[in-house]
Amino acid sequence: MADSSDGLNVVHLGLVPYAEGLRLQERLRDAVEDGRLEQTLLLLEHEPACTVGRRSGDGELAMDPAWYAERGIGIFETDRGGKVTYHAPGQLVGYPVMRVADPVAHVRAMEEAIVATLAAEGIGARSRPDEGPDFTGVWVGERKIASIGVHVRRGISTHGFAINAEMEMEPWSWIVPCGLSTPMTSTELETGRAPLLPSLRRSVATEWARRCGLREVELPESELRAALGAVPAGAA
């Protein structure tokens, strides 16, 4: 969890290419470190991408990169913990870029916030902290519904969580998610209805701020980018 009782900026970004998301996190990490911005939760969706974590091994990507590229899926090496995972529209991604005193407690707080968010959707989910690092995340029975992977450098975290909401699920069969041969699920599959992503975003932001003891403050994307000296993806 965070080591501060100050505000938590919450920024809703919409659909963001994965590489652009990485650049924003790095700029934001520097801004939090030097005090230009308070700790911030970025909430967004990504264009299709497979990301490779520090613990990834051979065989987690079942096909060669060209096969994924033909299907519009980028492959990205990252510095986050965990193994291979998949991002696409319809998945709610959260990147808490903030000061962290205890990385394990930080991950456990994410799991708790997601479990509470899903409970509000009528989904009985759980974390599995006693089963080892491969079981980090949130589960519905034996089905995984949310993935978590973080990186902490000089006491500030990047990366975060991804909740499967109303995404196309077939691409999960094209990887070994998180190094486990386990079924993946989504809020849509568990409830039989498509979630309202704006409602899901608001709920997870509130639950995350509560667990970190931070005051939730909505920050417009334009103000974030102005503070970081960043421009929207695709802009001149």
Instruction: Give which of 11, 7, 80 is closest to 49, Cα–Cα.
Output: 80
30, two tokens: 């520097």
Per annotation, catalytic residue among 178, 205, 209, 212: 178
11, two tokens: 């920024």
Distance, in Å, from the CA atom of 66 to the CA atom of 156, rounded to the nearest integer, reads 35
Instruction: Give which of 94, 90, 53, 64 is closest to 169, Cα–Cα.
Output: 90
Number of residues that this document lists for the chain: 236
Query: 159: which strand partners?
Result: 150
Collect all residues with Cβ–Cβ distance below 8 Å to 138 and sequence separation of at least 6.
Answer: 111, 114, 115, 118, 125, 126, 127, 144, 145, 146, 148, 163
User: Is 212 one of the catalytic residues?
Assistant: no
Instruction: Give which of 124, 112, 120, 114 is closest to 190, Cα–Cα.
Output: 124
Cβ atoms of 72 and 48 within 8 Å: the answer is yes
Query: 138: which strand partners?
Result: 146
Catalytic residues: 178
